[in-house]
Structure 1
Amino acid sequence: MKPENRNYYPNLDIIRFLAAFWVMLAHYGHIGPYMGLTGYGPSQGIAALFFQYGYLGVPIFFILSGFVIAHVSTDIHPLRFMSNRILRLMPAFWICMTVSFLLIALLDGTNILNLKLWFANLLLLPQTLGHPFVDGVYWTLVLEFVFYGWVFILLLSDVFHKHLLKICSIWLGISFANIMLLENRIIELVFITYYAGAFVCGLVMWHAKQNRWTAPHALLMVISGVSLSLGIKHLGIQAQLPNFSNQPDLLVSTICAILSIGAVAIGIFGKIIPIKHSFAVMLGAISYPLYLIHQEVGYIVLQKLAELRLNPIQAVTLVILLVITLSYIVHQACEKPIRRFLKSEMAYFVMSRFPRLNQS
């Protein structure tokens, strides 16, 4: 969405950046230290609690995605929708993945000349091809594309916007059935069962924003909130960390779901944050490369700084500044020109073969 668009939501770009920043803090201040990947011990006190729940940035991303995808898929041809999504996500992903791959090889001495690993990640299919993700956060991108795939199919069928609330109801039904009864891994992946509640929250809020709040909207929000709480409980990685077993119970995950939904809802229905739209756009733009590039590279740099006996607060602050700067450079110097080039080439290819898309 462009800033000159009257339907642009600057609050959402700010929330997107803050969510990415929170995830980064969770990795640097909680997850990484507990797993012995940073050279520093876990944070303590109130900061520890804040960092511990930084993974809530992920369901916030998914809620935002549901709202934004419903918004940008209105009155658009399915092929154009999918091409726009590919152009929005993949150039930055290819660049950030390659940068992470090279920096890890340079700083940590791993992945050297492992072009099979690089290529498998380039296709976003590393685990299918027997390789790990270059950076652990990429799993969320896979779920995003599963969501886009379903939206593409429903747009082709011309039912997505016409029957959006019914689709949300069916999706939640499948998700609850699989979580509570079936526990089928394939269904979990195909229908994103643990995080369906997050996407549905965004979809329902978009529908209510375009029309008006009704009882079905409220009911779907409650049900999707329950579904999201189950997803957050599943997402809670605390039990996987050494010497830490404080897995969130259903009450805690429900509170987290309410807070996650509330944060996005305030951004959508609340007053616009008094900040220049151009700055909000910039924050939203760098939030994606920031999310993609911060984890593994940040861990390695923190280890190097720990070897130099740098104060942990100073080390984390320095790494955050470096990652934000790198994200800005990636966006401005690499992602934008590559996206423009691919957009022009893709537009020429598609329009020459599907001239009717000129009118969509």
Structure 2
Amino acid sequence: MTSGGDRLTQRLELLDYLRFLAATSVVAFHYLYNGMENGKLTSLEPSALAGPARFGLFGVELFFMISGFVILGSARGRSARQFVVGRALRLLPAFWVAMALTAVVMALWGEASGLRVTAGQVLGNLTMTPTLFGVEPVDGVYWTLLLELQFYALVLLFLVLGQGHRLGAFLPYWALAIWLVNYLVPALADRVWLGDHFAFFVAGALIAEIRYAGVSPLRLGGLVATAAVTVPYAAWIASWLMPGPSGTVACMLLVVAFYAVLLSLCLPSVAAVRLPASAWAGGLTYPLYLLHAHIGYILLSRFGEESHPWTSYGVVLAVVLTLTVAVHVLVERRGRPFWYSLFDRSLGRLADVLDRTPRKAPSHGVGGRDVPTVPAGADRM
């Protein structure tokens, strides 16, 4: 049995594959089903894969669970400054570049798909929270990012108050609060941190806490409380996505499977599994998610041919994957020192102003500053 510290720093290669599976399932949902349903993909008809592709919508919920699972590794033992800079490094550079690329493609060819963009819209999206300012997202998939940031904001609150060590203990009570609100006061379920989507975040975080600190009745109770929200949520999704008893059961079992797979990472034999190219799988996930939707819709609508649908899909996927690799390599990897310096001098200093914890002597990192050394795989969405 490995110690808690060893479990925290151990790289989970299966998690990278799960992350990539979540991203590709969302791509399948959009390209094979949702694009036709919402009128944004106009050149192709639904194929025989449209039915199974509908399940790809749940890739978003798997993302949320994985994000909850890794966030404790990103926050445990970190200062507010390290956490903020680490999160900014992971989220903002790829988002800004992917959003700009999407806006360019929309400006050039988006008219046919009804996808338009304005300069003001692009500026509002630079915040990553455009809807808070009454601005439409450049790409519809960005709605999940606000939930991510809200989740991180609560974690940051614990850190700036010097209570980061209590975050794991707080999770079961948060899970219980979400369950009570959704069942007893559903009018409040849309409030920040209490909606059904946050049950997925908390479920992943609780599983990570079980992996780190062990099983306890309170943690298991919290996990059951999240399932009491997430599984009925899956049934509700099925009611409009795939009506009927079989669709309802399938969606509910899919969410249960998410719990089972993440819980399996608590087993040393599963956590130790080594998989080829796992770092690439994990690294490409976020830019692929950001780039695929509107760019894919527009390219397929403009250049896709119903007479050769799979050729059309193959070419567009190749273009999207090429952009994905370029953003990951050029922006996230090679640009990391530049982005680190930018965020450390801005957001990092702001976090220091808010931080109530005792100051520690900085270690030497990029530019002589304290680089947020997040465990391998922990700083990815």
Which TM class, normalised by the smaller chain length?
0.7 to 0.9
Q: Partners in 1 of 2:127 and 2:245 — Cα distance?
A: 33
Candidates 295, 300, 303, aligned match of 2:301: 303
Aligned to 1:136: 140
> Any idea what SS the aligned residue of 2:129 has?
coil
Change (3 A) 1:85 1:237: farther
Retained in 1: the 8 A contact 2:300–2:312? yes
> Any idea what SS the aligned residue of 2:136 has?
coil
Q: How does 1:1-360 map to 2 (within 5 A)?
A: 6-38=9-41, 39-44=43-48, 47-109=49-111, 114-162=118-166, 164-165=168-169, 167-184=170-187, 188-233=190-235, 236=237, 239=240, 251-267=249-265, 269=267, 270-276=270-276, 279-306=277-304, 308-347=305-344, 350=348, 356=360, 358=362
Alignment deviations for residues 319-353 of structure 1 (CA, whole Å, 9 cap, x no partner): 22221111001111223333320212443564799
Retained in 2: the 8 A contact 1:171–1:196? no
Q: Give the CA deviation at 1:245.
A: 5.7
Retained in 2: the 8 A contact 1:15–1:264? no
Q: Give the CA deviation at 1:115.
A: 1.0
Change (3 A) 1:248 1:324: farther
Q: Give the CA deviation at 1:302.
A: 1.0
Alignment deviations for residues 212-238 of structure 1 (CA, whole Å, 9 cap, x no partner): 22333332222212221234345x387
Q: Partners in 1 of 2:296 and 2:282 — Cα distance?
A: 21
Change (3 A) 1:112 1:96: same
Q: Partners in 2 of 1:336 and 1:214 — Cα distance?
A: 39
Q: Give the CA deviation at 1:135.
A: 0.8
Q: Give the CA deviation at 1:29.
A: 0.7
Alignment deviations for residues 227-259 of structure 1 (CA, whole Å, 9 cap, x no partner): 21234345x3873x8xx7669976444312102
User: Higher RCO, 1 or 2 (CA under 8 Å, sep at least 6)?
Assistant: 2
TM-score by length of 1: 0.85
Change (3 A) 1:138 1:301: same
The residue type equivalent to 2:61 in the other structure is P
- The total of aligned residue pairs comes to 345
Q: Tell me the C-alpha RMSD between the 2 structures.
A: 2.8
> Any idea what SS the aligned residue of 1:184 has?
helix
Alignment deviations for residues 176-234 of structure 1 (CA, whole Å, 9 cap, x no partner): 2332233336x524114112221122111111111222333332222212221234345
Change (3 A) 1:250 1:170: farther
Q: Partners in 2 of 1:210 and 1:176 — Cα distance?
A: 24
TM-score by length of 2: 0.81
Retained in 1: the 8 A contact 2:155–2:167? no
Structure 2 runs not aligned, ≥5 long: 1-7, 353-358, 364-369, 371-381
Q: Partners in 2 of 1:314 and 1:268 — Cα distance?
A: 42
Structure 1 runs not aligned, ≥5 long: none
